[in-house]
Amino acid sequence: MPSGGLAADPRIATARRSRARRWGAIGLLAAFTGGYYFMTRDRVIPVGVAIPNLIAGPMSPLAAAGILTTVNGTAQEEVRDGELTVRVSAATFPERRDGQLAFAQQYARADEIVQGRKRAISFLDPGGNRFARADPEKGVVMTR
């Protein structure tokens, strides 16, 4: 028997390496799964709470007019009692909640730039249900 005893046995060394690889792979898989979960989950957006613009970049008057032209080309808009109602078409309606909020914020921002003032705007989904509202004093909030 070699002087190293069991520690020098190549089968034991191979088993230890194999076990270390297995646990390393499990750890790597767990880290990837956790990262994927945190990166793809929807952002929590509470109802009735104004959140700062999700897209904070500057908007020129030309870009604002372009946004309104693009959206209004497919959306139905109507002014009642001083409040603009925009019914978003199914083709341009964002699926995710944070996308819906960003859409409403960008539209309200563009409208403010073009009109020169903030105004009340209700945003309706393709089914006619209100999902967001722009209030001149509070900002844009989700309503459901």
State pLDDT tens for residues 75-89: 999 998 889 999 999
Q: Would you say residue 4 has pLDDT above 60?
A: no
Element (H, E) at 107: helix 97-115
Could you report how far apart the first and last alpha carbons of the chain are, in Å?
76
Q: Would you say residue 106 has pLDDT above 80?
A: yes
State pLDDT tens for residues 22-78: 888 888 888 888 777 777 766 667 676 777 777 778 899 999 999 999 998 989 999
Question: In sequence order, what are the residues at sequence separation of 6 or more whose Cβ sits closer than 8 angstroms to the Cβ of residue 44?
Answer: none
Least confident of 3-7, 34-38, 100-104, 120-124: 3-7
Torsion angle, CA of 138/139/143/144, rounded to 10 degrees?
-120
Q: What pTM did the predictor assign?
A: 0.68
Cα-Cα-Cα-Cα dihedral sign, residues 107, 70, 144, 45:
negative
Domain range list for the chain: 5-40, 61-142
Q: Would you say residue 5 has pLDDT above 60?
A: no
d(CA 6, CA 66): 76
Between strands 139-142 and 130-135, the pairing is: antiparallel
Per-residue pLDDT at 131: 94
Helices marked H in 9-143: 10-40, 61-74, 97-115
**pLDDT category of residue 144 using cuts at 50, 70 and 90:** confident
Token pair, residue 42, equals 């929807």
Q: Would you say residue 18 has pLDDT above 50?
A: yes
Q: Are 114 and 71 in contact (CB under 8 A)?
A: no
Identify the residue with better confidence: 4 or 97.
97
d(CA 23, CA 116): 62
Strand partners, 86: 77, 123
Per-residue pLDDT at 16: 80
Per-residue pLDDT at 1: 46
Token pair, residue 59, equals 């908007």
